[in-house]
Chain A
């Protein structure tokens, strides 16, 4: 596709369940980012990859959050033992690198009940 694709679009999980959110970046984009957006707030940085290397994971809120990008393309954000406070929209963005603007997907809305 032409843009960043995220799946699923919506996810409902019971508290304590594990979830996996997928991001397909624009082909050839070196940089990949995950953001978390709570209702009414701006997106907040979670983690950053350059190719398959996770260069910055300073925004991950706890060790229940884990992200990977094993082949430098598709990325997965995994949340273990979900809690209600994890309810948010999770946004993925990619870019060619350098000062290039970020291209965002439309996010996955996670609701933990």
Chain B
């Protein structure tokens, strides 16, 4: 699975959009981009995934560049409860053996 690179930490004001970038320059054509987040003292929570088209669900939007070498997770109106570590993962085949890395620590502030 392709290596992903994310900033270590980010801050976002409550109510603003949080844009979390992820680089995956070596991603192959059959690898999906998955996003999970982990709130303190909880297990990771699935957010969204995509292959090449942009995706949106009730939690977030995922924007994947045309060359698929990077993506951005967007939380349109960040809330305090969205404070968490966000993991971007490139994964081929079945959704098994996720390799998490260290993720981006998003702090949402008042």
A→B interface (CB under 8 Å):
4, 31, 33, 41-45, 48, 56, 91, 93, 95, 97-107
The 7 closest A-B pairs by CB, nearest first: A104-B43, A42-B100, A101-B46, A99-B95, A104-B44, A43-B100, A106-B43
Contact in complex: B96, A107 (CB < 8 Å): no
Main secondary structure of the interface of A (DSSP, over half): loop
Let me know if B97 and A104 touch, CB within 8 A: no
Give the number of residues in B that approach A within 8 Å (Cβ atoms). Answer: 22
> Which A residues lie within 8 Å of B44 (CB)?
43, 91, 93, 102, 104
> B54 on the interface (CB 8 Å rule)?
no
Secondary structure at the B interface, as helix, strand, loop or mixed, is: loop
Q: How far is the CA of A55 from the CA of B102 in the complex (A)?
A: 26
Q: Tell me which residues across on chain A come within 8 A of B102, comparing CB atoms.
A: 41-42
B95 touching A107 by the CB < 8 A rule? no
B99 is an interface residue with CB less than 8 A from chain A? yes
Q: Which of A45, A56, A98, A106 contacts B98 (CB 8 A)?
A: A45
- A42, B43: Cβ atoms closer than 8 Å: no
CA distance A31 to B94 in the complex (A): 11
